[in-house]
Amino acid sequence: MPETVRLSVNGETVTMPAGSTVAAAILKTGESAFRVSVSGEARGPLCGMGICFECRVTIDGEPHCRSCQTICRNGMDVRTDG
């Protein structure tokens, strides 16, 4: 049985394999709008490697975290801004 972590995405509990990224956890819940652009468009991850900054979300109250470069931890509270 592989190790898993449980976190909350917009109030919904999601279970991920240990070592997963927050971006993957958000998409797994069916949410694809991570943030709202300066002109009001919904945006989600593009590059997957920390360069484009499109996957920014709020993690444990800290805004503008790159979810693709952040590893899931037990009890994490993730909020999309989309």
- The residues that touch another protein, with contacts defined as CB under 8 A, are 16-17, 19-21, 23-25, 27-28, 32-34, 37-39, 41-54, 56, 68-72, 82
Smallest distance, another protein to C-beta of residue 82, A: 8
Task: Report the nearest approach of another protein to the CB of residue 11 (Å).
Answer: 19
Phi, psi for residue 47 in degrees, rounded to 5: -90, -25
Residue 35 vs residues 1, 3, 39, 59, 75: alpha-carbon distances, Å: 34, 30, 11, 13, 22
Q: Which is nearer to another protein, 36 or 77 (CB)?
A: 36
3-state DSSP call for residue 33?
coil
